[in-house]
Structure 1
Amino acid sequence: MGNPSEPPDADDEAARRRRQRDTEPIPQIRPEDGPHFGEGPSYGDGPAYSDGPAYASSAGYGGRSGGGTRQVPDEPIISYSPPDISADELAGLQVDASGMPVQPRRVLPLEDEPTPLVARYLFPTERYRGEWKRHWIHLLTPLLIGVVATFVLGYLSGFLAGQDVGGLTTVAVLLWLGVLGWVGWKIADWWFDRFILTNKRVMVVNGIVTRNVAMMPLLRVTDMKYEQSPLGRFLNYGTFILESAGQEQALREVKHLPNPNELYLRVVEEMYEPQAVEARLSKDEAAAKAEDGA
C-alpha cells in the first residue's frame, strides 16, 4: 500500500470518481413534486418558463405561454384581410358539372311604357312588362320570294321587250309590282305583330286591316316551353308553346320570338316570383329618379 501522507495519484482519483458516478442511484422525481411544464424554474433573476427564461428575454425571444406559442415582440404584426371579390367576378369563377364556366344570367331590360299600339289593350290595374316583335327570320320567305321574282320577272321583261310583244312585257311588270306589294304587306304585318307580357297575362296582337288579339292569363298557364332548331340557336330565335288546362288555345304556339331563353325566364319569373320583378322595377325607378335629381 502507498504512503497515506502522499497525495493521491490523479489517474486513481479520476477512476474513483467515475466509479462513484456510475454506481450513484438515479433520483426518482414524482410529477407532483417536480416543476410543471407551464411553471418552469427560473434562472437567476429571470422570469419563470411561463414568461420565458432570462436568457430568452435578453436574446429577444418570447417566452412560452400556456398554449406553447412563441412570439417575436420586436417584429410588427402583419394582418391579412381576404380580397374583396364582387358577385360578377365570383360568377366568372364558377363552373358547371362539365367544367365549363357558368355565365351570369342575363335579364332583358324592363320597358317603361308600352307603345300606342299596345297601350289600348291594357287595363289600368295591370303592370306592363314588355313587348317584342317577331324575329326577322319571320320575313325570310316573303323576302326570298321578292328577290327571286325580281330576277325572274326582270329577265322575262327584258326578253319579252326584245321580242316586240309589249302586252306580255306589261303583264310581267305588273306581276312583279304585285309581288313587291305582297312583300311590303308582309313586312307591315310583321311590324304590327307583337308579343306582349304583363303581370297578369300574355298577349299576341297582329293584323293590319283585321286586328287579332289573343291572350292567356298567367294563372291559367299549366305548361310552357320553347323550341329552337339549329338555325334558331344560331340566329337566337325560337317557338313558344303554352298549355292551358289541356285545351286548344289561340295562343298555344307563337313562332319566331327573339331571345327565347331570356324571354322564357322573364315569363317564368313573372309567374312564380312576381315580388322579385316588382323589387327590381322599384329599384330601377329609384335609380332613374336619383339620376334625374342629380
Structure 2
Amino acid sequence: MGYPESVLAKDEHVVVHRHPHWGRLFLPAVILIVATAAAAFVAGYINTLHWQTSAKNIVFLVIAAVWLIIIGWLSVWPFFNWWTTHFVITDRRVMFRHGVLTRSGIDIPLARINSVEFRHGLMDRILRTGTLIIESASQDPLEFHDIPRVERVHSLLYHEVFDTLGTEESPS
C-alpha cells in the first residue's frame, strides 16, 4: 500500500514507506488463535452438558462476548494500530504518522537532519528490524522503533540527506 498522494507536496516522491515490523503482530496473532481455540473448547464442552437450551444459549452468548472483547482489545486493535502507523521518507522530508482514532505525526525536513543512526540487538538482527534515530537541528533525537530493514532505511535516508544538502560529503 503506497502512502496517500494527497499528503505529498507537488513533485515530492516517496523513497521509502514502511509500517512497523510484522513482529509486532506476532503476539496478537497468537492471542487470536489461543482465544479462539479456548472459546471453541469451552463452547464444545458446554454443548455436551445436559442443560436447558436457553441456559446453553446464554452461556454461548457470554463466551462470544468475552471472545469479542479479548480479540478486539488484544488482536484487532494492535493490528489497526500497526496498519495506521507509517514511516515515510520522501525526497524532501521524513514523515511519521500513527494512531487509529486520534492521529498524530511529525515531519522532519531533510535539510534539518544532522545525523542518522540505527540500533538493533541480536533478536532485531535476526528479524531484520531495529530502531532508527534521527537528530534534527532543533530537537532532541527522535527514535523510531521496529523499522523493517533498518540498515537499508538508514542508508537510504543518509543518501537522501546528503543529496538534499548537496555537500562534498555526498556519498554518490
Question: Is this a same-fold pair by TM over 0.5?
Answer: yes
Q: Is the 8 A contact 1:157 1:173 kept in 2?
A: no
Q: In the alignment, what sits opposite 1:186?
A: 78
Q: In the alignment, what sits opposite 2:169?
A: none
User: Among residues 149, 154, 162, which one is paired with 2:35 in the alignment?
Assistant: 149
Distance (whole Å) between structure 1 residues aligned to residue 161 and residue 71 of structure 2: 43
Q: Is the 8 A contact 2:16 2:153 kept in 1?
A: no
Q: Is the 8 A contact 2:114 2:136 kept in 1?
A: yes
In structure 2, runs of 5+ residues without a counterpart are: 167-171
TM-score (norm 1): 0.48
Matches within 5 A, 1:153-172: 153-163=39-49, 164=51, 165-166=55-56, 167-172=58-63
Q: Is the 8 A contact 2:12 2:91 kept in 1?
A: yes
Q: In the alignment, what sits opposite 2:110?
A: 218
Q: Is the 8 A contact 1:221 1:244 kept in 2?
A: yes
Q: Let me know the Cα RMSD of the aligned residues.
A: 2.8
Q: In the alignment, what sits opposite 2:88?
A: 196
Matches within 5 A, 1:54-93: none
* Fraction of identical pairs, as percent: 26
Matches within 5 A, 1:1-294: 115=2, 117-163=3-49, 164=51, 165-166=55-56, 167-182=58-73, 183-245=75-137, 247-248=139-140, 252-274=142-164
1:266–1:173 Cα change, 3 Å: same
TM-score (norm 2): 0.76
Segment of structure 1 superposing worse, 128-137 or 194-203: 128-137
Distance (whole Å) between structure 1 residues aligned to residue 150 and residue 66 of structure 2: 38
Deviation at 1:148, TM superposition (A): 2.1
1:180 maps to amino acid: I
Q: Is the 8 A contact 1:204 1:214 kept in 2?
A: yes
Deviation at 1:197, TM superposition (A): 0.7
Write out per-residue CA displacement over residues 64-110 of structure 1, whole angstroms, 9 at most, x where no aligned residue. Answer: xxxxxxxxxxxxxxxxxxxxxxxxxxxxxxxxxxxxxxxxxxxxxxx
Deviation at 1:223, TM superposition (A): 3.1
In structure 1, runs of 5+ residues without a counterpart are: 1-113, 281-294
Segment of structure 1 superposing worse, 182-191 or 132-141: 182-191
Distance (whole Å) between structure 1 residues aligned to residue 43 and residue 143 of structure 2: 42
Distance (whole Å) between structure 2 residues aligned to residue 198 and residue 269 of structure 1: 12
Mark the structure with the bigger radius of gyration. 1
Deviation at 1:144, TM superposition (A): 2.0
Q: Which has the higher helix share?
A: 2
Deviation at 1:126, TM superposition (A): 3.4
Q: How many positions carry a matched residue from both structures?
A: 161
Q: Is the 8 A contact 1:237 1:258 kept in 2?
A: yes
